[in-house]
Amino acid sequence: MDSILLILRDYGTLLLVGQYPNGPLGGLAVTLLLSLLGLTLAFPIGVVMALARLSPFRWLRWPAIALVYVARGVPLLMFIFWVYFFVPLLIGRTVTGFTTMVVTLVIYQAAYLSEIVRSGIEGMPKGQAEAARALGLSYIQTMRRVILPQALYNMIPALVSQFVSTIKETSLGYVISVNEVTFAAMQINSSLMTQPFQVYFILAAIYFCLCFSLTQLARFLEGRITSRREGSRQSVVAVVSPSTTTTATAA
């Protein structure tokens, strides 16, 4: 335990922010940045890809399907190497490891997220879209106002798992020397030489806290939405009518 505290005392800042402000930003800060960018960019792209996959137009559907199959069929590590080595050839200049990692994560996660979103959309009762279209809402308005709010809410557990795995996958950045928290831990381990257990214990604890807080946050948000939609149900039933059959409707 003492040795863990000692490591934290000596290398705490390296784990948190890398060499910043005297050098480049690194450590946990970069992990957070990668995760944040990965999530916020991959999510909307995943939704668009899901809509593309459900589109009646072949030219929209096929690229989305292809991307999903490629992402699912190739290990992420392989994907990282591909982006790292071939994108510079393609665009004619080098890209940083950080950019490579963001691009890879976004494509990879968007593909997985799109499958979750698609199943959420397809799981919606047909009547919801019909009712919206019957009011005169366009396809886009129907998706935005009626289908997606419900489909995404239903898919929160699956989406959160995917978000959590995004956070964990940022650790693969170390293979292309992205200066994130795993990379920092490797550096610490090689300078200490004798305490791999303690170093990697700290690293594991950091990831666990990160992922755990995200799932807790998601649970909190889900609970808030649920209680807003039906939280007062019990009290309404109790006041209006003691019979529970009145609420047992085809909602």
Partner 1 sequence: MNFSKKPLITFRDVSKWYGEYRALSSISADVHKGEVVVVCGPSGSGKSTLIRTVNRLEEIQSGAIHFDGKDVHASSVDINKFRSQVGFVFQSFNLFPHLSVAQNIMLGPVNVRKQRRAEARTRALELLDRVGLASKVDAFPGQLSGGQQQRVAIARALAMDPPVMLFDEPTSALDPEMVGEVLQVMKSLARDGMTMMCVTHEMNFAREVANRVWFMDQGSLVEVGVPDEFFSKPTSERARKFLSDLRTH
x/- contact string, 137-166, with partner 1 (CB under 8 A)?
xx--x---xx--xx--x-------------
Which tokens belong to 63? 């690229």
Counting every residue written for the chain, the total comes to 251
Please select the residue that binds partner 1; options are 132, 176, 203, 206, rule is CB under 8 A: 132
Query: Is 78 near partner 1 (CB under 8 A)?
Result: no
Nearer to partner 1 by C-beta: 142 or 182?
142
Query: Is 238 near partner 1 (CB under 8 A)?
Result: no
Report how far apart, in Å, the C-alpha atoms of 4 and of each of 1, 198, 201, 211 are: 5, 6, 8, 21
Q: How far apart are CA 46 and CA 117, in angstroms?
A: 7
Phi, psi of 214 (to 5 degrees): -65, -45
Q: Which residue has the tokens 């998706």?
A: 143
Please select the residue that binds partner 1; options are 5, 40, 44, 130, rule is CB under 8 A: 130
Q: How far apart are CA 66 and CA 186, in angstroms?
A: 36
Alpha carbons within 13 A on the beta-carbon side of 221: 13
Query: Is 128 near partner 1 (CB under 8 A)?
Result: yes
Nearer to partner 1 by C-beta: 78 or 135?
135
Query: Is 134 near partner 1 (CB under 8 A)?
Result: yes
196-235: which residues touch partner 1 (CB under 8 A)?
229-230, 232-233
Give the 3-state secondary structure of residue 18: strand
Instruction: Give the total of residues touching partner 1 (CB under 8 A).
Output: 30
Residues linked to residue 180 through DSSP beta bridges, in sequence order: 27
Nearer to partner 1 by C-beta: 194 or 235?
235
Query: Is 131 near partner 1 (CB under 8 A)?
Result: yes
Q: Which residue has the tokens 């995004």?
A: 166
Candidates 31-39, 45-53, 56-64, 126-134: pick the segment binding partner 1 (CB under 8 A). Answer: 126-134
Q: Is the dihedral of CA 139, 140, 141, 142 positive or negative?
A: positive
104-123: which residues touch partner 1 (CB under 8 A)?
none
Query: Is 245 near partner 1 (CB under 8 A)?
Result: yes
Phi, psi of 138 (to 5 degrees): -75, 170
- Contact footprint for partner 1 (CB under 8 A): 125, 127-128, 130-138, 141, 145-146, 149-150, 153, 229-230, 232-233, 236-237, 245-247, 249-251
